[in-house]
Chain A
Amino acid sequence: MNIIVVGLSHKTAPVEIREKIAFAPTAMERPLRQMVALPAISEGVIVSTCNRVELYATSRDIEAGVAQLKRFLSEYHSIPLDTLESHLYDHQGEEAIRHIFRVASSLESMVIGEPQILGQIKTAYGYAAEFKTAGLILNRFLHKAFSVAKRVRTETDIASNAVSVSFAAVELARKIFGSLEDKTVLLIGAGEMCELAARHFINNGVSSVLVTNRTLERAVKLAEEFNGRALPFDDFAHHLQQVDIILTSTGAPNFILSQKQVEEVIRIRRNKPMLLIDIAVPRDIDPRVNDIANVYLYDVDDLQGVVQANLKERHKEAKKAEGIIEQEIGQFYRWLGSLDIVPTIVSLRNKLEEIRRGELEKTFANFKDLGEREKKAIEALTSAIINKVLHQPTTVLKQAQNDGRRDGYVDAVRVLFDIHPTPPAGDIKDLDAHDDQE
Chain B
Amino acid sequence: MTVNILLFKITLLLYFTATVLYLIDVIARHGKTGKAGRWVLIGGFVVHCATLVARYLEAGATPVANLHEALSFFAWAVVAIYLLFDLRYRLSVLGAFICPLALVLMIAGSAVPKEVQEASPMLDSWWFPVHVTLAFLGNAVFALAFVAGIMYLLQERMLKSKSFSALYFRLPSLEVLDSINYKCLSFGFPLMTMGIISGAIWANSAWGGYWRWDPKETWALLTWFLYAALLHGRLTVGWRGRRAAVFAIIGFLFLLFGFLGINLLLSNEHSFRALSGR
Contacts and interface: CB of A to CB of B under 8 A. Distances in A.
Given A157-B169, A270-B238, A178 B175 contact: yes
A313 B166 CA distance: 8
A177 interface: yes
A202 B155 CA distance: 25
Contacts of A313: 166, 169
Interface string B24-60: 0000010000000000000000000000000000000
A305 B163 CA distance: 8
Interface stretch (A191-199, A293-301, A338-346, A367-375): A293-301
A204 interface: no
A294 B169 contact: no
A269 B241 CA distance: 13
A413 interface: no
Nearest to A177: B175
A175 interface: yes
Contacts of A271: 238-241, 243
Contacts of A419: none
Contacts of B155: 175
B83 to A, nearest CB: 23
Contacts of A293: 241-243
A305 B168 CA distance: 14
Nearest to A275: B159
Interface in B165-185: 166, 168-169, 171-176
Q: Binding site of B, secondary structure by majority: helix, strand, loop or mixed?
A: helix
Nearest to A267: B238
A167 B155 CA distance: 20
A302 interface: yes
B173 A178 contact: yes
A305 B169 contact: no
A305 B240 contact: no
Contacts of A179: 175
Contacts of A176: 159, 173-175
A421 interface: no
Contacts of A316: 166
Given A157-B169, A294-B240, A313-B169, A178 B162 contact: no
B241 A298 contact: no
B160 A290 contact: yes
A273 interface: yes
Given A271-B238, A293-B242, A313-B169, A175 B159 contact: yes
B84 interface: no
Given A175-B155, A270-B237, A296 B160 contact: yes
B164 interface: yes
Nearest to B164: A309
A91 B239 CA distance: 62
A179 B175 CA distance: 9
Max chain B C-beta neighbours (<10 A), residue from A157, A172, A273: A273
A306 interface: yes
A357 interface: no
Contacts of A172: 159
Contacts of B159: 172, 175-176, 296
Nearest to A290: B160
A161 interface: yes
A166 to B, nearest CB: 17
Contacts of B242: 293-294
A241 B155 CA distance: 24
Given A271-B239, A271-B241, A305 B162 contact: yes
Interface in A146-184: 157, 161, 172, 174-179
Interface string B195-239: 000000000000000000000000000000000000000000111
A175 B237 contact: no
Contacts of A306: 162, 164
A258 to B, nearest CB: 19
Given A306-B162, A316-B166, 17 more contacts: A157-B29, A157-B169, A174-B173, A175-B155, A176-B174, A178-B173, A178-B174, A178-B176, A270-B240, A271-B239, A273-B174, A290-B160, A293-B242, A296-B160, A298-B162, A302-B162, A305-B162
Interface of A: 157, 161, 172, 174-179, 269-273, 290, 293-294, 296, 298, 302, 305-306, 309, 313, 316-317
16 contacts: A157-B169, A174-B173, A175-B159, A175-B168, A175-B173, A176-B174, A177-B175, A178-B173, A178-B176, A271-B240, A271-B243, A273-B175, A290-B160, A294-B242, A302-B162, A313-B169
Q: Which 3 A-B pairs have the closest CB atoms?
A: A270-B238, A178-B175, A178-B173
Interface of B: 29, 155, 159-160, 162-164, 166, 168-169, 171-176, 237-243
